[in-house]
Structure 1
């Protein structure tokens, strides 16, 4: 069955907007795990716009104590700066179960594209090797419509995370057939190369079931923005349980 990793970045956005320690990121993560979430995801950015380095350390302790997956996302090419030791160093200090490499720049509001595996191959290969030395599973962000997704396996990646923004857009427009075909094809190509398939970005209770029904053998979905937004109305516990119900019904 597909597992659910809850991205708690938006909890940190709310906290940072006021300063101080509320709402508490670790307490929110604990609530998600208590509701049955299989793991926690964070995407610390060099500008510390939401998750901070101390959040990463606290969540590493929490997930290790609960024996659940901790997934750290980030740009491996972003240099360290004050308050951000760099993605590889964060992983060295916390040893997450999974690291998801994402090619996002400082000027991006959110992640909106995957890697070009032809262009980025030489830069990615040694970084993936470093993360394997830390016993981290490595997933790389990928576009469903880009040629060469199979090359991620040649670089040493264990999984790809399909960027599902285009699927979510198609769902909102009421026409998902072409999008689902593209994502199913990409998933099968990746799986044929020996890669596991994760998915994330703009997935919600409304569109998740159709995606999982149409795309084969998705191992993990990472969901944050929609889940936290929905939880403002229903609460974290009920919202996480609702997502788990969608996943179970999708089979």
Structure 2
């Protein structure tokens, strides 16, 4: 069954707005796991505008499911992963000033760099996933880096879902199928929500994990956090 990993960056944004510890990020992670999530995702950025490096260190001690740490593999990020050794590291090519992730890796151009980074992270005992656009032509280059998984960048799917969900999912279906043929696991994330998640799940039998944060936290404002986590898990059983 596809696992739900909840990205808690937005909770950290709310905490940082007041400079105190409300909401308590560690307690939120504990509760989200208790409510049924199978993982916690964080994406620390250099300016620490939401998740801080210390949060990642602290979360490692309390997360009992799976800690997924996303980020651009700068020296500081790799050093954090060496220290924390999360269960999964997701490599994302975002610029320091990016509001949110907005593209997958050009795995052809950066193949040698990614190969070296993947090997280093795997030496720490981490499973590695590479953030990738839905392009079947990129999958073989991704596989050659030694990565364990790819994470499909799903913004294009979510943008076109309402107009034509079959056309929207088609490149994702093809990319996931090719990844499966090459022995790669498949994750997905970005702008997935209660409206579009179930269809993606139904169409991608290779899907091992989804990472969802912004939409889930927004829904929780109206529906409650426990109920929302369970509603998202229900979409992965549809």
**Would you say same fold, with TM above 0.5?**
yes
Residue of structure 2 equivalent to 1:50: 50
The more displaced of 144-153 and 98-107 is 144-153
Q: What are the superposed Cα offsets for residues 57-103 of structure 1, whole Å, 9 maximum, x if unpaired?
A: 1111111xx2x110000000x35xxxxxx111111111100000000
Contact between 2:158 and 2:196, CA under 8 Å: does it hold in 1?
yes
Q: What are the superposed Cα offsets for residues 120-160 of structure 1, whole Å, 9 maximum, x if unpaired?
A: 01111111011111000000000003622221111110000
Residue of structure 2 equivalent to 1:27: 27
2-side partners of 1:110 and 1:139: how far apart?
Answer: 18
Does residue 1:168 correspond to 2:158, yes or no? yes
Residue of structure 2 equivalent to 1:60: 60
Helix, strand or coil at the partner of 1:18:
coil
Residue of structure 1 equivalent to 2:10: 10
Residue of structure 1 equivalent to 2:72: 75
Residue of structure 2 equivalent to 1:230: 219
1-side partners of 2:29 and 2:96: how far apart?
Answer: 26
The alignment yields a C-alpha RMSD, in angstroms, of 1.1
Residue of structure 1 equivalent to 2:190: 201
Q: What are the superposed Cα offsets for residues 23-65 of structure 1, whole Å, 9 maximum, x if unpaired?
A: 11111111110101001000000111100011101111111xx
Helix, strand or coil at the partner of 1:119:
coil
2-side partners of 1:58 and 1:234: how far apart?
Answer: 28
TM-score by length of 2: 0.97
Helix, strand or coil at the partner of 1:182:
helix
Q: 1:142 aligns with which of 121, 132, 149?
A: 132
1-side partners of 2:103 and 2:40: how far apart?
Answer: 22
The runs of at least 4 aligned residues of structure 1 exceeding 6 Å deviation read none
2-side partners of 1:148 and 1:217: how far apart?
Answer: 17
TM-score by length of 1: 0.92
Which consecutive unaligned segments of at least 5 residues does structure 2 have? none
Helix, strand or coil at the partner of 1:149:
helix
Superposition deviation, residue 226 in structure 1: 0.3
Does residue 1:113 correspond to 2:103, yes or no? yes
Helix, strand or coil at the partner of 1:219:
strand
Does residue 1:183 correspond to 2:172, yes or no? yes
Does residue 1:213 correspond to 2:210, yes or no? no
- Aligned length in residues: 238
Residue of structure 2 equivalent to 1:157: 147
Does residue 1:89 correspond to 2:79, yes or no? yes
Which consecutive unaligned segments of at least 5 residues does structure 1 have? 80-85
2-side partners of 1:133 and 1:177: how far apart?
Answer: 40
